[in-house]
Each structure stands twice: as structure tokens, then as C-alpha cells.
Amino acid sequence: MSLASRLWIDKNAKKVMLFCVFFCLSFTFFIGFGLYSKSINLLTQFRSYDLLLSSEWMPGKMKFGIFSFIIGTLYVTVLAMIIAVPPCVLAAIYLTEYANYKIVRFVRPVVDVLAGIPSVIFGVWGIILIVPFIRDFIAPFFGVQTSGYTALAGGIVLAVSVFPVILQLLIELFKTIPQELRDASLALGATQWQTTKLVMLRKAGPGVVSAVVIAFSRAFGETMSVIMVTGNVAMVPKSVFDPVYPMPSLIANNYGEMLSIPMYDSALMFVALVLFLIVLIFNIISRYILRKVELSSI
């Protein structure tokens, strides 16, 4: 192959790869545009301000307030992150810093299997174990009567479903920390825990934030397991023992049904658009925070 041919291939290969990058990124725009175009019928007849701040969801009466669904989604997702993140961080630290080879060899395949379990299985597990446990033990301990189908049940089931995602990301992250940093810390007289806390976690801080963001985005859009254990009642929860109705559950439960009601299809697409925008905005803010943390650690 001549030099001119190789230079031509190199030049055009760069353009093709650049096109592929923009093609992949354009899907974000296309998804947002598609959801907006399907929501436009609703937005032309109702103010978005009223839709977002109203909790009245009665499609038969042309009331499409989605505030209770937004709060329900945030409630379950934040609960899941509170439950999932601390044990995952500690487990990842143990597997990368303390565990021997035999334990790691046993645990990693188990985590991979857990990651491959369909979400409906987590939902069934939640119905069989978590819901009765909350109804019969946890809620009575706090003097509350409930059916067990609550925001807490959704948070627990969702936390378990994102465990393998966070754990796998953190394990791979901690393995990238240079061993020389650990050796230098230990050589200066630091204990293994001091080395982990002051060297490894400090170095991996931005990556931990990134892993949590990825897990949050995954949890925010989880549908099947959450549908099965949260009660699906359109109300603003006052405690973790109240039922909730997250936005993904609303879309999954109702899309394809009752679409003969005027504006109903558009209302559901508006819910999907809001869900999309919340995740997008959260990721943008998180990337900004992550960038700040990376710059401050340099």
C-alpha cells in the first residue's frame, strides 16, 4: 500500500470515528425530542408549572398533576442509595485490600450472578420476604400499621438490585490505585486502615462519586421490582411506611391502556420526559461536582 493511500485511510478513519461519536451522542437529543413531541399536546393545554406542582392525577377528569410521582421516585431512589452505598464501599474495600485470594475468587462470580438476575425476581423476593417483614416486624416496632407495600420496601429491593452495579464499579476502581501509594504509606508507619482511609479513598474519591452517580441513574429508572412492592398509590409520602407510586411504575402500568382518554398518552409521555430530564440534570450536576473534586485533588 502506498504512502498516499495510508494517509488517505488515516484521515478518513478519523472522520468516521468522529461521526460515530456524534452519532452516539445524538441519541440523547433524539430521545428528548421524541418525548417532547409526544408531550406537546398536554403542554399546549396545561402549564408545566401546574403539572409539576399538582398531585391530582385523575385522567378521566383531565387532571394530570405528577408531583406525587416525582416525590415517590425520589423517595425510593434516595432510600436505595442510603442503604446500598455504605455497605458496597466497605465490601469493595475488603475485597481489594483485606480479603485473601480464595474469598475473592468465591465472591466475584456471586456478584456477577447477582448482576444478571432479572428485576422481576427481585420484585418477587420483595413480596415474599421484605413486604411481610416490614408489615409484621419493622412497622409495628415503630407503632405503625401498614400493608408492607411501602417506600421502604421499594428502597430495600432497589438497593439490593443495584448492589452488584456499585460493587463491581468500586472493585475495578480500587484495583486501579497504584500499589506504590499503599507501600509508601505503610513504609511511613501508617496502619492498613489509615492507608485505606487517607490514601486509597482520597485517591479514588472522584471515581466513587462517579460510581454512585451511575448507580443512582440506574435506580432512578428501575421499573418492575419497584412496581411490585411499593403499593402504587398516587400520594405524597409522609414517611417511609407510606405507599408510593414512582414515575417508571406509572408509565409501565398505564401505557397501552386507557389511551382512548384524551391527553392520556401525552400525559404519560410528559412523565417520561420529566424522568429523562431529572436524570439528565442530575448527571450534569454530578459531572460538575466530580470535575471540581478531581481538580481539588491535583
Does residue 41 share a domain with residue 124?
no
Separation CA 268–CA 272 (nearest Å): 6
Separation CA 159–CA 51 (nearest Å): 30
Q: Per-residue pLDDT tens for 240-294? A: 999 999 888 888 888 766 666 768 888 889 999 999 988 888 778 777 766 766 6
Which domain, by its residues, includes 79?
A: 68-259
**Residues 6+ away with beta carbon under 8 Å from 115:** 164, 165, 168
Q: Which of 183, 224, 280, 216 is nearest to 85 (CA)?
A: 216
Beta-carbon-side half-sphere exposure of residue 133 (alpha carbons within 13 Å): 12
Does residue 223 share a domain with residue 171?
yes
The pTM of this model reads 0.85
Q: pLDDT value at position 290?
A: 67
Does residue 15 share a domain with residue 145?
no
Does residue 219 share a domain with residue 186?
yes
Does residue 125 share a domain with residue 31?
no
The number of distinct structural domains making up the chain is: 2
Q: pLDDT value at position 55?
A: 86
Q: Is 63 helix (H, G, I), strand (E, B) or coil?
A: strand
Q: Per-residue pLDDT tens for 50-102? A: 888 888 888 878 888 999 999 999 889 999 989 999 999 999 989 888 888 88
Q: Per-residue pLDDT tens for 131-188? A: 999 999 999 999 889 989 999 999 999 999 888 888 888 888 888 888 888 888 888 8
Q: Is 221 helix (H, G, I), strand (E, B) or coil?
A: coil
Q: pLDDT value at position 243?
A: 93
Q: What does R_g of the chain's alpha carbons equal in angstroms?
A: 24
Contact 226, 156 (CB under 8 A): no
In a domain, 269, yes or no: no
In a domain, 130, yes or no: yes
Please give the backbone phi and psi of residue 63, each rounded to the nearest 5 degrees, phi first. Answer: -120, 120
In a domain, 295, yes or no: no
Q: Which three cell numbers stand for residue 45?
A: 393545554
Q: Hey, which residues does 244 pair with through a beta bridge?
A: 231
Does residue 132 share a domain with residue 30?
no
| CATH number, domain containing residue 101 | 1.10.3720.10
Does residue 252 share a domain with residue 126?
yes
Q: Per-residue pLDDT tens for 194-217? A: 888 888 888 887 778 878 887 887
Separation CA 27–CA 34 (nearest Å): 10
Does residue 35 share a domain with residue 79?
no
Q: Which three cell numbers stand for residue 98?
A: 483485606
Domain boundary among 45, 60, 78: 45
Q: pLDDT value at position 257?
A: 64
Does residue 233 share a domain with residue 104?
yes
290-297: Cβ within 8 A, 24+ apart: 290/206, 290/209, 290/210, 290/213, 293/205, 293/206, 293/209, 294/206, 297/202, 297/203, 297/205, 297/206
Q: Which of 257, 229, 235 is nearest to 59 (CA)?
A: 257
Q: pLDDT value at position 152?
A: 93
Does residue 255 share a domain with residue 119?
yes
Does residue 200 share a domain with residue 73?
yes
Residue 297 has pLDDT above 60, yes or no: no
Q: pLDDT value at position 295?
A: 64
In a domain, 281, yes or no: no
Q: pLDDT value at position 96?
A: 87
Contact 126, 225 (CB under 8 A): yes
Q: What single letter denotes the amino acid at residue 241?
A: F
Does residue 102 share a domain with residue 186?
yes
Q: Is 296 helix (H, G, I), strand (E, B) or coil?
A: helix
In a domain, 79, yes or no: yes
Beta-carbon-side half-sphere exposure of residue 37 (alpha carbons within 13 Å): 6
In a domain, 276, yes or no: no
In a domain, 51, yes or no: no
Q: What's the gap between Cα 10 and its chain centre? A: 40
E strands in the chain? 57-58, 63-64
In a domain, 231, yes or no: yes
